[in-house]
Structure 1
Amino acid sequence: MTDSLDHDAAELATLTEAGERGLAALPSRTDRTPAEQEQADRIHADARQARRAFLARHTETIYGLLTEGMTRPVRLPELVHAAADRFPGLVPTREQMAAERAEVQAHKEGREIDQGLFCGAVLRSPTAGRHLVETMLRPTPRALDLIDAFRADGRAELDTVLVTRRGTTAHVEFRNVARLNAEDERLIADLDTAVDLVLLDDAVAVGVLRGGTVDHPKYRGRRVFSAGIDLTDLRDGRIPFVEFLLGRELGYLNKILRGLLTDPAPGAGAQRFTSKPWIGAVDTFAIGGGMQLLLVLDHVIAAEDSFVSLPAAEEGIVPGLGNLRLTRHTGARLARQVLLGGRRIAAADPEARFVCDEIVAPEGVDEAVDRAAEALSAPAVAANRHMLAVAEEPLDLFRDYLAEFAVAQAERAYAPDVLEKVERRWRERERRRAAERSAS
């Protein structure tokens, strides 16, 4: 590599094109012999080494070109596509990603790892990374299309989320009812829109997050906060890295914590961001991403028969920003027990007080939510929660963590142990379904 962007881009394109020809000469991943798969792995490794070297020299210049000198906000999915168009071989093309999307996770080439390398490099740059973080804190186009109707009606019904305004409180209810309110691509997109609507509506002082009633036979008719990432979708290859695994961290989770960027002009954060307090109401359980969500909320109410967990060790992937945020809630020892050992915390356990502010009887959750919303609607709350976020999780700390997370999570999503676990769960589920059909 040299200091010439054009020269190095041409070299990268030549090398990766040769690698693609080598991959095309091999059978599809499912039909490869072990020796052929080793050959494919070497091709990917050589290309990734070249990409890392290219990004180490040119990331900020690349980002500047793709964003017109950081004068144009380009959201993460569009940024990745633009990089593929402008610098062949740097990240997968739209066509390559469409082909990947058609396969189950274990049958993919793992091209999202290359997206992770690019995103990690951008986030690692103090200038480019900060610009990208702030771009992703802007309202989504979908929310801007819906906000006038929401302001008028106080109601927005999305595919998997219902948002209703009651007085000065906005209630965001998860409605992925067939999947125990598990996180899938639809729910992530809907939550990003829902959080934007709450933050954009001046009539709203406080936001509330709660799971709706579900259809699962074991819990039918009960409210469930969240079952975390949809492992069936992960197995089937329907958990996209950019839009889901990275997008949720840069999107609605960060907006809840940091606020919505409503004024792009330079100035103090409190002048540029619209921030509001958030309440979480946990019924039954908050698993994985559901528990991660609790860590950015201002007040958490849990039914006394509920529990929380971050089953990272079992799933094999990184639990978002749980590793960054849990320690400041629980302390290092308990955080390691949860993250590394899979410890589940029941609401009845004394340790639940580190994650939840109130433990109430299931029939008392509604009343507790109303009390908390009234208390958090005081005028000074928004300013003080903004300063807490500045003190506890400065933007550059968030950015540095996310730069490492982008690479680690992309690699873990294709790690052999993860692929084996999701395939094993899928086979067990299919066997149960077959047995149920036979019994009926």
Structure 2
Amino acid sequence: MAVEESRIQAHKDGLEIDQGLFCGAVLHSPTAGRHLIDTMALPTPRALELLDGFRATGRVELASVLLERRGPAAYVEFRNAQHLNAEDNRLIGDLETAVDLALLDDRVRVGVLRGGEVDHPRYRGRRVFSAGINLKALRNGEISFIDFLLGRELGYISKMLRGLLPEPTEVTWPDPRRQKPWIGAVDTFAIGGGMQLLLVLDRVLLESGAFLSLPAAEEGIVPGLGNLRLRRLTGARMARQIILGGRRITGDDPEVRLLCDEVVPAALMDAAIEASVAELAAPAVVANRRMLGLSEEPVDLYREYLAEFAVIQATRTHSEDVLAKMERRWRRTLSRR
């Protein structure tokens, strides 16, 4: 794998397909699959190392994420500024550390996700939520199947939805996981993986003029667990329009209310976040979100979907059509320099 990881995607031998087959088989087993899910719900070693410092200062600055505690909320700000806050291996690792810290700190009652200001000439100085997967990194073979494509689903996204296990345990009832509500504040756009994040959040605020999209079908890959979760919010027909047809949803679309709670002018976003934090910090919120989660996405449904996803996504990232699209996009980028 060390040799494999040093190559661009088109020159790899496809060992990650074997990883996908293995992980799919593990997840397909009710016993082994649940054990893997529970193990991935544990805090990362880096989060445990940083926990005392975060509790004391309320601030941790990682390479691509800033975490700050303000009042009852932990603000998680994406800071991959050169790449429109696109997801790569580093950002995924930093996000899991930040989510762990927010869930472990007893003074935090609500988590807030927001993109920081970016450096892209078209959007310089503006906040951007997320441009999704970093396609340049994918083309260059720098997107890990285990750490990114599967790890984000079993790691920080699952922890936001289902909670974190503070320590290994054989106890399964009552549920020992720590859960907290999460808010997403979407400035400019949430594309691909950015939009996928919104599907597990408890409150979504969309800046006026911002848009949402899942262009994975155009890119040739599967949009994480978007295929599982989107139709619960939008219905099957609209989910197909977004995932298979690439439909963008803007703040002006009447259907936008299926995907967000408020459309907010940019100048009022901070106030809207504060109001949402105050509302979701109520004591009964955690218990009720836990019950909603049980009804919406039972763990075995999640496990069975991931078993199929592991195989399909590993295969798609090595498919000829995907590799060809990445290379054409790469050459267009070089020609514009």
Fold match, TM over 0.5? yes
Q: Is the 8 A contact 2:183 2:276 kept in 1?
A: yes
1:345 maps to 2:258? no
Q: Report the counterpart of residue 269 of structure 2 in structure 1.
A: 365
TM-score w.r.t. the length of structure 2 is: 0.99
Counterpart residue type for residue 145 of structure 2? F
Q: Is the 8 A contact 1:270 1:386 kept in 2?
A: no
1:184-206 CA distance string (max 9 Å, x none):
11000000000000000000000
1:347-378 CA distance string (max 9 Å, x none):
21111111100101111111000000000000
- List aligned pairs for 1:326-405, cutoff 5 A: 326-405=230-309
Q: How far has the Cα of 1:264 moved from its partner?
A: 3.6
Compare CA radii of gyration and give the structure with the larger one: 1
1:320-347 CA distance string (max 9 Å, x none):
0000000001000000000000101012
1:408 maps to 2:321? no
Counterpart residue type for residue 304 of structure 1? S
Q: How far has the Cα of 1:265 moved from its partner?
A: 3.2
Q: Report the counterpart of residue 213 of structure 1 in structure 2.
A: 117
Q: Report the counterpart of residue 3 of structure 2 in structure 1.
A: 99
Partner-residue secondary structure (3-state), 1:173: strand
Q: Report the counterpart of residue 220 of structure 2 in structure 1.
A: 316
Once residues 75 and 174 of structure 2 are traced to their aligned partners in structure 1, the CA distance between those partners, rounded to angstroms, is 24
Superposition CA RMSD, Å: 0.9
Q: How far has the Cα of 1:106 moved from its partner?
A: 0.7
Once residues 6 and 171 of structure 2 are traced to their aligned partners in structure 1, the CA distance between those partners, rounded to angstroms, is 45
Give me the identity figure in percent: 66
Gaps of 5+ in 2: none
2:147 to 232, 235, 243: 243
1:226 maps to 2:168? no
Partner-residue secondary structure (3-state), 1:356: coil
Q: How far has the Cα of 1:267 moved from its partner?
A: 3.9
Query: Per chain length, whose mean CA-contact separation is higher, i.e. which structure has more relative contact order (CA < 8 Å, sep 6+)?
Result: 2
- List aligned pairs for 1:135-214, cutoff 5 A: 135-214=39-118
Once residues 322 and 194 of structure 1 are traced to their aligned partners in structure 2, the CA distance between those partners, rounded to angstroms, is 23
Counterpart residue type for residue 317 of structure 1? I
Q: How far has the Cα of 1:271 moved from its partner?
A: 4.0
Paired residue total: 337
Partner-residue secondary structure (3-state), 2:75: strand
Once residues 142 and 198 of structure 2 are traced to their aligned partners in structure 1, the CA distance between those partners, rounded to angstroms, is 25
Q: Is the 8 A contact 1:285 1:307 kept in 2?
A: yes
2:189 to 277, 280, 285: 285
Q: Report the counterpart of residue 91 of structure 1 in structure 2.
A: none
TM-score w.r.t. the length of structure 1 is: 0.76
Q: Is the 8 A contact 1:228 1:289 kept in 2?
A: yes
Taking a change above 3 Å as real, the CA distance of residues 144 and 222 of structure 1, as seen in their structure-2 partners, is same
